[in-house]
Amino acid sequence: MSIAADYLGMPLSIDELDAENLAYFRHCAAHDFHLQQCGACQLVRYPPTTACPWCMSPQSTWVPVDGKGAVHSYTEVHHAIQPAFKAHTPYLVLMVDLDTQKGKPSEHDALRVVGNLATPDGKLAPPELVKTVGIGTRVRMVFSDVAPGLSLPQWTIDETAQQPAKPWRYPQE
């Protein structure tokens, strides 16, 4: 069944034919991050796809994946393009290398999962928190609940992890 909901005043929807995204976000709605694992080569992939990008197999199962990793790159948006985000600038879009499967199948590859910097309860992070995060910051996954069957995975600073002394930030504040 399709899902349609509103998030920050922005219409989000998943079509009833979109089996992969329905499954992905259903797990997220349970605050339980899952990704597809290939039934043939066993590699895990992100975001959802309709076949294995490495071996073409159509067989996959949804497996739980630890939502922990480090910021690989980011952008800090000061001029929002979408009306939904104008009230939340500056906001961070993070590209996070999961610890799971990092460096596989080849050295520079990783499951790079996109999300905003959020507070532990899944709300977009305020400016004072945005300033503390950069490349190398250890983060853990939290969820922004949108509707039954649809929550967005987000990232928050991992309070329990050992953080780099100074994460790399763009030189101009």
Note the residues at the interface with another protein (CB under 8 A).
Answer: 7, 10-15, 18, 21, 25, 45-47, 49, 53, 72-85, 88, 91, 93, 95, 106-112, 114-116, 135, 152, 168, 170-172
- Phi/psi-derived region of residue 149, left when phi > 0, alpha when psi is between -120 and 50, beta in every other case: left
Closer CB to another protein, residue 57 or residue 160?
57
CB 146 within 8 A of CB 167: no
List Cβ neighbours of 38 (8 Å cut-off, separation of 6 or more): 44, 45, 52, 54, 55, 57, 59, 60
Q: How far is the CB of 135 from another protein (least distance, A)?
A: 5
Rounded least distance, CB 159 to another protein, Å: 22
Task: Tell me how crowded residue 8 is: count the other CB atoms within 10 A of its CB.
Answer: 15
Cβ 22 to another protein, closest distance in Å? 11
CA dist 13 and 81 (Å) reads 20
88 or 140, CB closer to another protein? 88
Residue 32 or 109 with smaller CB distance to another protein: 109
